[in-house]
Amino acid sequence: MSEPILPRIRPEIAALPPYRQGRQAGADAFKLSSNENPFDPLPQVAEALARTTPVNRYPDATAGALRARIAERYGVETDAVHVASGSVAILYQLVQAAASAGDEVVYAWRSFEAYPGLPLVAGATGVPVPLLPDARHDLDAMAAAITDRTRVVIVCTPNNPTGPIVTGAEFAAFLEKVPADVLVLLDEAYAEFVTADGAVDGIAERIFEAHPNVVVLRTFSKAFGLAGLRVGYAIGHPRVLDAARTTAIPLSVTSAAEVAAIASLDAEAELRERVAVVVERRTALRDGLRAQSWDVPDAQGNFIWLPTGAGTMDAAAAFDAAGVIVRPFDGDGIRISVGEEESIARVLDVAASLR
Ligand SMILES: *Cc1c(COP(=O)(O)O)cnc(C)c1O
**Does 108 reside within a domain?**
yes
Among 235, 266, 297, the domain boundary falls at 266
Stretches where the chain sits below pLDDT 70 are 1, 20-25
Nearest atom in ligand 1 to the alpha carbon of residue 222 is: 1
Do 288 and 261 lie in one domain? The reply is: no
Looking at the structure, do residues 262 and 274 belong to the same domain, yes or no? no
- Among candidate residues 241, 266, 291, the one where a domain is terminated: 266
pLDDT given for residue 22 in this prediction: 64
- Do 145 and 212 sit in the same domain of this protein? yes
Dihedral angle sign, alpha carbons of residues 354, 337, 139, 101: positive
pLDDT at residue number 171: 98
For the chain, the domain total comes to 2
User: Is residue 32 included in any domain, yes or no?
Assistant: yes
Do 199 and 296 lie in a common domain? no
Give the chain's length.
Answer: 355
Whether residue 227 contacts residue 37, with contact meaning beta carbons closer than 8 Å, is answered with yes
User: Does the residue 4 lie in any domain?
Assistant: no
Contact 333, 306 (CB under 8 A): yes
Cα–Cα nearest to 149, from 103, 101, 100, 99: 103
CA 299 – ligand 1 centroid, Å: 17
Which of 266, 298, 313 lies at the terminal end of a domain, its last residue?
266
Look at residue 3 and tell me if it is in a domain.
Answer: no
Measuring from each residue's beta carbon to the nearest atom of ligand 1, which residues come in under 6 Å? 35, 86-88, 112, 156, 160, 187, 189, 219, 221-222, 227, 232
Does the pTM of the predicted model rise above 0.95? yes
Q: What pLDDT, on a 0 to 100 scale, did the predictor assign at position 18? A: 76
CA pair distance 281, 297, nearest whole angstrom: 16
Residue 22: give the domain boundaries.
11-42+269-353
3-state secondary structure of 68: helix
Q: What is the DSSP string of 250-291?
A: TT-S-HHHHHHHHHHHHTHHHHHHHHHHHHHHHHHHHHHHHH
Around Cβ 84, how many Cβ atoms within 10 Å? 27
What is the best residue among 165, 222, 231 to mutate for testing ligand 1's pocket, by most ligand atoms within 8 Å of CB? 222
* pLDDT at residue 59, as a whole number: 95
Q: Are residues 64 and 83 in the same domain?
A: yes
By alpha-carbon position, which residue is closest to atom 14 of ligand 1? 189
- Closest ligand 1 atom number to CA of residue 227: 7
